Amino acid sequence: MAEIGVDVKKAAEFLQQSQVIGIPTETVYGLAGNALDPNALSKIFEVKNRPRFDPLIVHIPYKEHLGLYVKNIDTEILKLIDTFSPGPVTFLLPKMDIIPDLVTAGLPRVAIRIPSHSLFRELLDMLQFPLAAPSANPFGYISPTQAKHVNDQLGEKIPYILDGGQCEVGLESTIVGLDNGELTIYRKGGLDIDAIENIAGKVKVKEFSDSNPAAPGMLKSHYSPKISSRIYEDNIKLSLKTGALRFQNYLNMLPVKNQFILAENGDLNLAAQRLFTGLRWLDNQGFDQIVIELAPETGLGRAINDRLRRAVVQ
């Protein structure tokens, strides 16, 4: 299994040697490698078993570095960068030639983010290159929000996991870009759409893409447990081998021990932080099926429900 530690210098040394490692962000843990090194990028796809048509997100420490990797930043996008970065938001921008096509799946735009997690920023500050870092999980499975989750899933394939504690946000970043000149949310995530609309006005929201997505994390089936899971409805047959992911209240027809509550106080931020932990716990209890209750379709609830709908496995 991988070594887990807080040695940022050791983490940097692995990355400088074209290795890939687990890293913490405020959203979820990432599987990081040199975004300018095709060998490191190939290892990311290999370790995750990720299809190469699914683009990666590039991480930089400061907005002043954007000009090294992207061009022609629209004033509307620049305003959002100034407002919300560092933070849980990714911007889809026209790429410079220095960004390998492997990062973008051959597309002309690159997804780029400035994270706020202090340990990750310290690591980025030590490096002379940006980091590509998709979520540190096997492709399509539940995203990790603790170093242990990364080790459980990928520990045999990577040398080191930088431990930054529990992820504060717990959902992948929101992805924003322009679609035919219109400000567009390509992926719902850790930055509330309402916050973006308060700055930029009404935005378009894209849903899933079955193949060749324009941005990372747009595939229709994703974040999935291994066992059968479905959105809860009154006519679903339940048994003592059924587990339940609930938003705020227990389901009367099932034992309490079979259920994971996201936020008893109804706090959507807490629910987002606990979402992947809950799915992972239910997936490891030996249940025959998982029934899922959606969150209120407001604020971060929209991003939570996006993940839950894509987690459904029949």
- Name the residue range of residue 303's domain: 228-311
The reply to whether 38 and 166 lie within a common domain is yes
Residue 213 falls inside a structural domain: no
Residue 106 falls inside a structural domain: yes
Distances 267 to 70, 115, 273, 274, 299 between C-alpha atoms, Å: 37, 23, 10, 11, 11
CA separation for the pair 221, 69 (Å, rounded): 30
The reply to whether 33 and 153 lie within a common domain is yes
Strand partners, 245: 260, 292
Whichever domain contains 304, its CATH number is: 3.40.50.11030
Strand partners, 70: 95
The reply to whether 93 and 166 lie within a common domain is yes
The reply to whether 294 and 147 lie within a common domain is no
The reply to whether 125 and 246 lie within a common domain is no
Residue 289 falls inside a structural domain: yes
The pLDDT value recorded for residue 155 is 97
Residue 263 falls inside a structural domain: yes
The pLDDT value recorded for residue 210 is 47
The reply to whether 106 and 253 lie within a common domain is no
The reply to whether 238 and 166 lie within a common domain is no
Instruction: Look at the chain and report how many structural domains it folds into.
Output: 2
- The model's pTM is 0.91
Residue 15 falls inside a structural domain: yes
The reply to whether 96 and 7 lie within a common domain is yes
- Which residue, 170, 196, 211, sits at the end of a domain? 170
- Which residue, 170, 185, 200, sits at the end of a domain? 170
Is the separation of the CB atoms in 25 and 165 below 8 Å? Answer: no
CB count within 10 Å of CB 288 equals 11
Is the separation of the CB atoms in 214 and 108 below 8 Å? Answer: no
Residue 179 falls inside a structural domain: no
- Which residue, 103, 136, 170, sits at the end of a domain? 170
Q: Which two tokens stand for residue 25?
A: 């962000």
The reply to whether 33 and 147 lie within a common domain is yes
The pLDDT value recorded for residue 224 is 83
Residue 197 falls inside a structural domain: no
Residue 188 falls inside a structural domain: no
Report residues of the chain scoring pLDDT below 50. Answer: 210-211
Whichever domain contains 163, its CATH number is: 3.90.870.10
DSSP state of 229: E
The reply to whether 156 and 71 lie within a common domain is yes
The pLDDT value recorded for residue 257 is 98
Q: How many CA atoms lie within 13 A of 64 on its CB side?
A: 1
The reply to whether 7 and 120 lie within a common domain is yes
The reply to whether 164 and 76 lie within a common domain is yes
